[in-house]
Structure 1
Amino acid sequence: MDTILPVLIAIITGSALLVLIMMLRSLSGKRKGGRASGAVRRKDRAVIIRESTKRLTHDPHNINALQQLADLYFDEQNWGKAFPLYDSLYELSLVHPEINIQKDALRQGMCALKINKLDEAGKGLFSAHKLLPNDFDTNFYLGLFLYQKKDYDKAIACLRKAHAIRPDMTNVNRPLGFSYYKSQHYKESLPYLRRVLDESPEDKETLFSLASAMEEAGFGDKALKVFVHLRPDPDFGAQSCLSAGLIHERSKQYQQAVQDYEIGLKLENVPSELQTTLRYRLASSYISMNNIGKGLYYLKQIQNTTPNYKDVAALVQRYQELNSNSNLQTYLMAGTSDFVALCRKFVEAYYPNAIVKIEDISVAPESIEILCSVESSRWEDTELFRFYRNTGAVGELYVRDFHSKLRDIKGDRGFCVTAGTYTDEAHKYVEGRPIDLIEKNMLVSVLKKIDMLG
């Protein structure tokens, strides 16, 4: 027994060493084989290029040479070199039935799309789609082509089919989501844009588009949060400031809107057209807050850089006058209680040498009416004043309505007051009737008397 044990140990040790040596030799062989295989592949590539080029020099329409070279460059994703080869194969397929037109037409379109040759891409992709209508690649790349051509409805059809064929292919989500978005199918775009953001959370273009789609789809509160988040962004910040400001304006949160627009104007590299729009909205917000001076400041900035922008010239003229006449500003812009108080003063100032007694005041959405009795040393009348806050032209229909009201109350005389003008028909209607039409110039004259009366 004592003699057998050392023999067994020697046998086991020898066997282990033998196995280890064999494993090391095997591993070494694989490494050498790998290096040899890489060398063979490099040699094969060089041979394919050399021999195919040689054959094409003698015969530019050599199908095998074109196919081998095209497939090699395609596998290497060398789209620029692969495209003309597949384009030749596509053209030759009419007279060479041995060409795999399904594969080569698709690849011709794919390569053209990759190097932005959109006009050439269409012919291959449409042909491939006719031959393989239920293939993922043909539907996806044709959809991508149609998206880039801005034919969004057709792009949606192809991309939806590609998504149905391969729901696992996430590269469909972006062009499909943007096709819905750019064709104004905002609600339908939302799930696909969200999936893009799940894959690429830093994609600011998709995030901005998602917010815009949410706003259009009626999710304004959620959209606003995204726009506010994007305000500092160098690429989408200015547009996000504009979008956030418009939402705040619609909800009459003018102070927040001012903040949005001012942030946008502080950003760098904002396009001049967008800067002008931000200034215009900023001026409008300040004016809505009755800060006429600030509003004028930004309107004049626009006037200096873009004189013919929208109605800026008319607004500057209007608000310069308002800024210098606080009573006219109150007449056009103040709340209802201040407007009524000013109109009472107007009636009293209109008859400085008479006793005016206010009998009744009625407020309507478009005007207010003041019924009063006026007594002077020589006469006494019951008179009705109607005040319009608009700055446009008041038509005959409104004057007729006022005349009917004056007859109903058996008033002696009536006065229609506006910060604008009256149409020619309105002026003709009051001829021979106990109605005076007071236009802007006369209104301003009386308002100045109120200033002097204190």
Structure 2
Amino acid sequence: MDPVLLLTGIVIIIAIIAISLVVSSRKSGSKRGGKQKNRSQIIKEASRKLAQDPHNPDGLIALGNVYFNEHNWEKAYQIYDTMLSIAPAHQEIDPFTAALRQGICALKLNKIQDAFRGLPAAYQINPSNFDVNYNLGLACYQNKEYDKAIPCLKKAIVANPEATNVNAPLAMALYKAHHFKESLAFLRKALDENPDNKEALYSMADAMQECGYGEKAMKVFMHLRPDPEFGARSCLSAGIIHMNSNQYEKAMQDFEIGLRHQNIPQDLLLEIRYRYANACFATKNISLGIMQLREIQAINPSYKDCGQLLSRYSELNQNKNLQIYLMSSSSDFVALCRKIVLVYYPRSVVKIQDISVQPDNVEILLTVDSNKWEDTEIFRFYRTTGSVGELYVRDFQAKVSDTKADRGICFTAGVYTEEGRKYAEGRPIDLIQKDGL
């Protein structure tokens, strides 16, 4: 083939391709310009109609479609709120669309109460529609009406089983309505859809704890302890579980980690400190527990029973024997009771005959021999700072009579009720309360 002809053919082909590309580009640009012009024209014509009549249905419908499809919720809300109001007087306006879109726009703008004007109206027209049930369920959920949100969200799933945005709000509504067992299945689905949903993860752990799956719940709480948002709450939950199983040292670690988090809500902060203080007292770290109570009182002086605890443990912190009496092991408590018995009669010979340890008290049967008399006596020690009532005093008197003891002496770190003291009058029993102890 002639090289000149070949070269000429190549040039012609390149020119044809270039011309085609230019024409195609111009057509594409023309289409885009036409589309933009079409939107502008729609807005211009609709605005002109609405300037003449603010309730012009054609103008409202056209403008509403543009703003709603563009997710311009503020402008769309104003349009559909007007359409919802005037729909009964204008057959051109579809009342279902106006009501649904008014509710959706209000929901997007967090105008929850306004959403309840449109969404229930749409529900009355079409109670099986997915968008209606989903958005009405969301509105009820955000309004903390969880029992109303649940049936709507369940109907949304029935209307569209493939929807992936329903499980999370339904799970949280069930959880917050305390339907813990039912919530677990939906919480798992929500986590399958979004594994980073820490709120659903914490809620699932808490629901498992409520349903008796403590070990599984603990694993999740421990995993969440470092989380900036749900870490402090997870530390509190883990600490409570450890406290309930008498693992006080582990509970203290949970609470300490929780207190290291930043920007903790005040109610949560106070609860962590309160639980931490009680864990400290359980492990005999009284000074540290007192410090926590004072931190609480600096924020809220009337929080729970902090005042009573602070008074009680401040005194215990200054009195080692009282600490032993109320907080030590059973063997240390019995040893202290023996010392009290032996020093009660400093100028007599005291012989301990028997020691009986009960869940709420210790009894010591003994003989006392002085130069002038000899007695058999029973000492009972109640390990409480509360009130000891008449029933307990009667029980002690019965024990004194049954053992044919000459006398009974009853100790408590608390007080005796007036009825208990009256019953003891004229009987061979002495009641010694906190001050005497």
TM class by smaller structure: over 0.9
Inter-partner Cα distance in structure 1 for 2:93 and 2:252: 65
Q: Which of 161, 169, 172 is 2:166 aligned to?
A: 172
Distance change in 2, residues 1:210/1:27 (3 Å) = farther
Q: Give me the CA root mean square deviation.
A: 2.4
CA distance in 1, matches of 2:74, 2:134: 20
> Alignment partner of 1:307: what SS?
coil
Alpha-carbon deviations, 1:342-391, whole Å to 9, x = none? 11221111111111111122222111211111111111111111111011
1:410 to 386, 404, 407: 404
CA displacement, residues 380-412 of structure 1 (integer Å, 9 cap, x when unaligned) = 111111111011111111111111121111111
1:270-299 Cα deviation digits (max 9, x unpaired): 234433322222221111011222222322
Residues 40-65 of structure 1, C-alpha deviations (whole Å, 9 max, x = no match): 11011000001110111011111111
For residues 137-192 of structure 1, the C-alpha deviation after alignment (integer angstroms, 9 at most, x for no partner) is 11111111111111111110000010112111010011111111111112222222
**Could you say which residue in structure 1 is the equivalent of 2:285?**
291
- TM-score w.r.t. the length of structure 1 is 0.90
| Structure 1 residue runs without a partner (length 5+) | 1-5, 444-454
Partners of 1:179 and 1:226 lie apart in 2 by: 20
- Give the aligned partner of residue 103 of structure 1: 97
In the alignment, structure 1 residue 89 sits paired with structure 2 residue 105: no
**Which of 423, 427, 430 is equivalent to 1:433?**
427
Q: Pairwise mapping of residues 41-80 of structure 1 onto structure 2 (< 5 A)?
A: 41-80=35-74
Distance in 1 between the 2:199 and 2:150 partners? 20
Q: Which residue of 1 is the match for residue 328 of structure 2?
A: 334
Q: What is the CA–CA distance in structure 2 between the aligned matches of 1:421 and 1:114, rounded to whole Å?
A: 62
One of 205, 209, 229 as aligned partner of 2:203 = 209
Relative distance call for 1:250 and 1:136 in structure 2 (3 A) is: same
Matched, 1:265 2:277: no
Residues 273, 119 of structure 1: alpha-carbon distance in 2 compared, 3 angstrom cutoff: closer
Is residue 399 from structure 1 mapped to residue 371 from structure 2 by the alignment?
no
- In 1, Cα distance between the equivalents of 2:327 and 2:409? 21
| Equivalent residue in structure 1 for 2:194, among 189, 193, 200 | 200
> 2:239 matched to 1:245?
yes
Q: Which amino acid aligns with 2:260?
A: K
1:206 maps to amino acid: A
More deviation in 41-50 or 101-110?
A: 101-110
Distance in structure 2 (CA, Å) of the matches to 1:21 and 1:154? 69
Residue by residue over 1:409-445, the C-alpha shift from the partner in whole angstroms, topping out at 9 and shown as x without a partner, is: 11111111110110111111111110100111111xx
The answer to whether 1:35 aligns with 2:29 is yes
SS of corresponding position for 1:442: coil
Question: Sequence identity, in percent?
Answer: 52
Distance 1:259 1:49 in 2: 63
> Distance between the aligned counterparts of 1:317 and 1:175, measured in 2?
46
Alpha carbons of structure 1 residues 232 and 45: separation in structure 2 relative to 1, 3 Å:
same
Measured after TM superposition, the shift of residue 34 of structure 1 is 3.0
TM-aligned CA distance change 1:305 to 1:351, over 3 Å: same
Looking at structure 2, the residues matched to 25 and 160 of structure 1 have their Cα atoms a distance apart, in angstroms, of 58
Q: Does 1:348 align with 2:348?
A: no
1:222 equivalent among 213, 216, 227:
216
Secondary structure at the aligned position of 2:88 is classed as: coil
SS in structure 2 opposite 1:383? Answer: strand
State the secondary structure of the residue aligned to 1:433. Answer: coil
Q: Which runs of 5+ in 2 are unaligned?
A: none
Amino acid at match of 1:176: L
Query: Hey, what does 2:129 align to over in structure 1?
Result: 135
